[in-house]
Structure 1
């Protein structure tokens, strides 16, 4: 489906905010509750946050719940939820086993899977940019346990094309230019409290303004059982950089708003920056 054939009526989307735990089943139960709430608010597409299914005590803990691509309890949960509620689900991220080009038993792929309302998988994106941060007592290096992806991913939704990205990807605008003309960019995330307070909203609004599209960001938000604190502030931003909806506090919840093709057309018509690009 191309944007020329996208539906013109507003399309309702939701971002889920979570405070995930080291217990997979507890996280899936909470995600199921929030998906049902979003569907009850009329959402037709639901975005989960990065690591929605698991936030372990140690980075290596995710290796114990990794799944083989194509089957596993987390993948079945996402497909079943999409089918049950008749919504598109963009499944935050889950750890997939590295099998190609050679197996890597010490690392996983941090993967986003997309399921349509029939529960059929429609897209897959493996996170490209891996977070590394050192400040005081905070220390993160995703490359120790995650193998980076390499392929940009865009899929067709009823309202237009959707570009997939994850968390730290947000700091690399060249990734979003590679997506081409999209109606929506999604950013499932687990921004730390430190980096989120400093840069989260600024980066999200910048990506919306420079690509003249909507940005939907689902975040982890709160103090986790492993001691990590995440920033939250899940939100939907329109092509002019205005915040359509936002969760202003920590804790689980749902942010719901509409993708309006007319708004995209209006912004691009009045300030045709997308058409004026010279360097590609």
Structure 2
């Protein structure tokens, strides 16, 4: 299998400043010495995550058939010869979704709507109802958004993929421990792109911790960013099944265990 490179942009997201965030991504890539086959951006990278009301994020949400953000990402995909996996607030009819869009030189290719919901997602968004897997340069990829990683019920459905791409808005470290556990138990790479900066609301200020990282199928951390805005490109070379599953079919073993415990 061909080695695949991933660029992680740990963005200092400016709340409600869509054009500013898009321009920041362009500037970061323009100043990078190398841009990967796939560029990963945080959850809701263009708008921020927390607001005083649902109406605020709804007014920033976009219909993907005529999305300014997707058009800009597609133009950058052409410029930097990459594919974006990026969190964007989506509007479809009267519904709103916390969505990840997969965008290449030709525009929108795929999308995934966040399935898990914390108290803020429930205020702003409808729940997604299907997973996303896609292939790129011979690699099978799955997408999870932030809180999704906490739920094995979601992550086990991705048992056949090589890499989980995981845009996030984490404020603390616990979610990284969960991401490591998912990589170890599934035998997959988990690539988490977190954000930095703040979302300021009337009720409180949320601070995001950065720390974007990649875990190998062995649960080993291949690299970690600090708490500042940063960009890192990494080549994933070993995409073979983790050695802890040597001689074992994980799915058949889970099925057998479920049968015994039922």
How far, CA to CA, are the matches of 2:27 and 2:150 in structure 1?
A: 31
Mapped contact 1:234–1:255 kept (Cα < 8 A): no
Which of 88, 97, 116 is matched with 1:129 structurally? Answer: 116
Dislocated runs of 4+, deviation >6 Å: none
Gaps of 5+ in 2: none
Mapped pair 1:185 → 2:185: no
Mapped contact 2:98–2:121 kept (Cα < 8 A): no
Mapped pair 1:97 → 2:91: yes
The CA deviation at 1:276 is 5.3
The CA deviation at 1:243 is 1.0
Which of 67, 78, 84 is matched with 1:83 structurally? Answer: 78
The CA deviation at 1:37 is 4.5
Partner of 2:64: 69
* Equivalences for residues 125-164 of structure 1 within 5 A: 125-132=112-119, 141-164=120-143
Secondary structure (helix, strand or coil) at the match of 1:80 reads: helix
Residues paired across the two proteins, number: 250
Mapped contact 1:235–1:255 kept (Cα < 8 A): no
Mapped contact 1:236–1:255 kept (Cα < 8 A): no
Which of 20, 27, 43 is matched with 1:50 structurally? Answer: 43
**CA gap 1:278/1:67 in 2 versus in 1, 3 angstroms:** same
Mapped contact 1:14–1:46 kept (Cα < 8 A): yes
Mapped pair 1:238 → 2:216: yes
Mapped pair 1:29 → 2:23: yes
How far, CA to CA, are the matches of 1:255 and 1:272 in structure 2?
A: 34
How far, CA to CA, are the matches of 1:143 and 1:14 in structure 2?
A: 30
Q: Give the TM-score of the pair, scaled to structure 1.
A: 0.82
Partner of 1:111: 99
Mapped contact 1:212–1:274 kept (Cα < 8 A): no
Which of 8, 11, 17 is matched with 2:4 structurally? Answer: 11
The CA deviation at 1:204 is 1.0
The CA deviation at 1:274 is 3.3
The CA deviation at 1:224 is 4.2
Secondary structure (helix, strand or coil) at the match of 1:130 reads: coil
**CA gap 1:242/1:86 in 2 versus in 1, 3 angstroms:** same
The CA deviation at 1:42 is 4.1
Residues 81-113 of structure 1: per-residue CA shift (max 9 Å, x gap): 11221111101x1111132xxx24xxx211111
How far, CA to CA, are the matches of 1:33 and 1:46 in structure 2?
A: 14
How far, CA to CA, are the matches of 1:82 and 1:242 in structure 2?
A: 30
How far, CA to CA, are the matches of 1:37 and 1:275 in structure 2?
A: 44
Mapped contact 2:51–2:57 kept (Cα < 8 A): no
Q: Give the TM-score of the pair, scaled to structure 2.
A: 0.87
The CA deviation at 1:269 is 6.3
**CA gap 1:41/1:251 in 2 versus in 1, 3 angstroms:** same
How far, CA to CA, are the matches of 2:148 and 2:25 in structure 1?
A: 23
How far, CA to CA, are the matches of 1:127 and 1:18 in structure 2?
A: 20
How far, CA to CA, are the matches of 2:106 and 2:82 in structure 1?
A: 9
Give the alignment's Cα RMSD to 1 decimal: 2.1
